[in-house]
Homo-oligomer: A and B are copies of this chain.
């Protein structure tokens, strides 16, 4: 039995997220479902892949990591060719590698990096609109940078998630950095942390957009964090602007 680690890139526009949905009668089309189906045909085994985490419907990935176990004798190069031939054109395998038996794509993640793209111009750029959200009014980047500082470190991010409050899971996470840049009309927000709650990156981005519009002051971020109340945060930015960039193991 071999444990194979795969790194994949996908345009999530047409998918209901990464993770297969097991509800009866679900017709959701997921990245996991597509890959398992091609892998199972290739190996003539019933393959289940372990993903590094969920991604929301419509979210993209530059380097998503998953692993699976197989008895197949096929070499990795041939596997890669087979997979990229039969996978839909919006999902590609970037790398396949043998991993130790103990490698687990989800449990072993040390940190994740997400990228959020905001097209900030008088017109909505036709070349990046598929992978960016559009904000017409000029955002105050310096205010957004100041606001983002309050989020760095270990905090209870209950104000920044769509998780239902009754769930007993911990909502404490650590954000290592948030890097906000503007190049021409494109603002990028790169955020790295040890883990993210449901919709956390999108709600942080929506809140920072409100700061950029001067609807929320940078110092209010501290108050929103301490309130532990999602009604206090800004809106949830669109899924299509979000890309899972990297995973550190």
Interface residues of A (CB under 8 A from B): 9-11, 60, 62, 80, 84, 89-94, 122-127, 129-131
* Contact (Cβ within 8 A) A60 B127: yes
* Contact (Cβ within 8 A) B123 A91: no
**Cα(A60)–Cα(B127), bound, Å:** 9
Closest Cβ neighbor of A123 among chain B residues? B92
* Contact (Cβ within 8 A) A92 B126: yes
Q: Which residues in B have their C-beta under 8 angstroms from that of A131?
A: 127
* Contact (Cβ within 8 A) A126 B90: yes
Closest Cβ neighbor of A84 among chain B residues? B123
- Kindly list the 3 A-B residue pairs having the minimum CB-CB distance in the complex, ordered from nearest: A11-B126, A92-B123, A90-B126
23 A-B contacts (beta carbon < 8 Å): A9-B123, A9-B125, A9-B127, A11-B126, A11-B127, A60-B126, A60-B127, A62-B127, A84-B123, A84-B124, A89-B126, A89-B129, A90-B126, A91-B126, A92-B123, A92-B124, A92-B125, A92-B126, A93-B123, A94-B122, A94-B123, A127-B131, A130-B130
Closest Cβ neighbor of A128 among chain B residues? B127
Q: Chain A interface mostly helix, strand, loop or mixed?
A: mixed
**Cα(A245)–Cα(B214), bound, Å:** 35
**A86 CB to nearest B CB, Å:** 13
Most chain B CB inside 10 Å of its own CB: which residue of A10, A126, A130: A126
**Cα(A44)–Cα(B93), bound, Å:** 53
* Contact (Cβ within 8 A) A126 B10: yes
**Cα(A84)–Cα(B60), bound, Å:** 27
Q: Which residues in B have their C-beta under 8 angstroms from that of A84?
A: 123-124
Q: Which residues in B have their C-beta under 8 angstroms from that of A10?
A: 126
Most chain B CB inside 10 Å of its own CB: which residue of A89, A91, A127: A127
**Cα(A90)–Cα(B91), bound, Å:** 24
Closest Cβ neighbor of A130 among chain B residues? B130
**Cα(A83)–Cα(B94), bound, Å:** 41
Q: Which residues in B have their C-beta under 8 angstroms from that of A124?
A: 84, 89, 92
Q: Which residues in B have their C-beta under 8 angstroms from that of A126?
A: 9-11, 60, 89-92
**Cα(A131)–Cα(B131), bound, Å:** 14
Q: Which residues in B have their C-beta under 8 angstroms from that of A90?
A: 126
